[in-house]
Structures are given as structure tokens and as C-alpha cells.
């Protein structure tokens, strides 16, 4: 299986689907498309190096979208950028931002991905701290991957304590979310997803 993960900024996808990627990494080729280098949230050189470390940890191939942080616009160029990478890697499964989100970059990337993936059979929206009314109907048990997921987040050293909530790190937020989604899925830790579409026969081929 070939998996493509689409992310607006360095450190976005790790929160929402990092554990799932770690779980699938032995049996799948993973590609990461990050649209910006996150310069509004920190030094872009530092943030891009942190993202590179994450991709090395995952054994994933990294693509950069070349957009400016907070300035991603929903237009044909954005759709074409995403579609080009999809065709280049021949992705079977795609993860992207949820479309209802307080961050405009996340919203616009999600909407562009909906169009760019119109011929893809498996597309899942992942959760971000800024997602609104995220109600997952598909879950992945990441209990045995939780320590490695913490390691993924720690690789974004410059962002760990950038939640803007006093006394709460992104790791704290991830663990709280993981326990809540785990409870919904009757396990200790889980990641939740909202499918745009999902083909079950693809699941059975991997068993």
C-alpha cells in the first residue's frame, strides 16, 4: 500500500495520524506532502529540519508544497499541486486535514484535497487541535504505538510547548485526545478519522 499524508504545516499530521502511520509503516510506503515550512510559528529552517527528522523516523519520503504559512488559498493551483503529488506517488490511501477547522490553511488544504482526490478510493480526514465538531466514525487502535507517537511529536522540539494553553504541551493534548478516542473505540488509545470515502476491499487485501 502507498499512503500519502497531506499537511499544511510541519507537525500537523503527527497529532492526527502519527500513530496510524507508525502502525502501517512496516507494510506500506509512506509519502508526506507539507505545504509550508511553518514560518509564522517559528524559524522555517528549524521547522523544516524537524519535519525531515520525523520523516526519517517514519521511513517516509517528504515533499514540500512551497506555500507561505497562513497564506494558502483555495484555488486551481493548490488543487493541481496536490493532484500532481498524488499522481507522482500513485497513492492508495490519503490522509488530510478535516475541512471544518479554525485555521484557514487547514480548511483550504482540505477543500483542495477533496477535489484532487476525486478519483481516489480511500480518503480520510484526520483530527487537529483546531478541528471543529470532529466526529470520527473510523478508528485505529494505537495503544502499542503511543510511546513512538510521543517520540514523533518530540522531534518537533520547537513546537512542543506552543499550544498557547498555560501548562499544557502538545503531548498532553495528544494523550488526552488519544484516551478520549480510545474510549470511543473501546481501547486505551486510538486515533479517529472521518472518511470522505473508504473501500473495505482494500482493507481485506492487506490482511
Q: Which CATH number is 16's domain given?
A: 3.40.50.10320
Residue 11: CB partners within 8 Å, gap ≥ 6? Answer: 38, 47, 50, 51, 54, 153, 156, 159, 170
Residue 170: CB partners within 8 Å, gap ≥ 6? Answer: 11, 15, 129, 153, 156, 159, 160, 161, 162, 163
- What's residue 202's pLDDT? 57
Segments forming the whole domain that contains residue 7: 2-205
User: Cα dihedral angle (11, 15, 16, 19), rounded to 10 degrees?
Assistant: 110
Average pLDDT over residues 165-185: 93
Domain count across the chain: 1
**Given a cut of 70, is residue 32 above it in pLDDT?**
yes
State the pTM of this model: 0.93
Average pLDDT over residues 154-174: 87
Task: Give 68-96 pLDDT, tens digit per residue.
Answer: 999 999 999 999 999 999 999 999 999 99
**Given a cut of 90, is residue 204 above it in pLDDT?**
no
Rounded to whole angstroms, how far apart are CA atoms 12 and 106? 9
Amino acid at each position: 500500500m502507498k499512503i500519502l499524508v497531506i499537511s499544511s504545516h510541519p507537525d500537523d499530521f503527527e497529532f492526527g495520524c502519527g500513530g496510524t502511520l507508525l502502525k502501517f509503516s512496516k507494510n506500506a510506503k509512506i509519502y508526506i506532502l507539507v505545504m509550508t515550512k511553518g514560518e509564522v510559528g517559528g524559524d522555517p529552517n528549524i521547522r523544516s529540519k524537524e519535519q525531515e527528522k520525523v520523516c526519517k523516523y517514519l521511513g517516509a519520503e517528504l515533499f514540500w508544497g512551497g506555500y507561505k504559512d497562513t497564506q494558502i488559498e483555495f484555488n486551481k493551483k493548490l488543487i493541481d499541486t496536490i493532484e500532481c503529488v498524488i499522481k507522482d506517488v500513485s497513492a492508495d490511501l490519503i490522509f488530510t486535514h478535516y475541512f471544518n477547522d479554525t485555521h484557514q490553511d487547514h480548511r483550504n488544504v482540505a477543500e483542495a484535497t477533496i477535489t484532487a482526490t476525486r478519483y481516489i478510493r480511500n480518503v480520510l480526514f484526520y483530527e487537529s487541535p483546531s478541528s471543529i465538531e470532529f466526529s470520527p466514525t473510523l478508528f485505529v487502535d494505537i495503544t502499542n504505538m503511543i510511546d513512538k507517537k510521543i517520540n514523533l511529536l518530540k522531534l518537533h522540539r520547537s513546537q512542543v510547548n506552543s499550544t498557547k494553553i498555560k501548562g499544557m504541551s502538545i503531548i498532553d493534548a495528544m494523550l488526552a485526545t488519544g484516551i478520549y478516542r480510545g474510549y470511543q473505540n473501546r481501547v486505551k488509545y486510538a486515533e479517529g478519522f472521518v472518511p470522505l470515502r473508504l473501500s473495505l476491499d482494500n482493507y481485506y487485501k492487506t490482511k
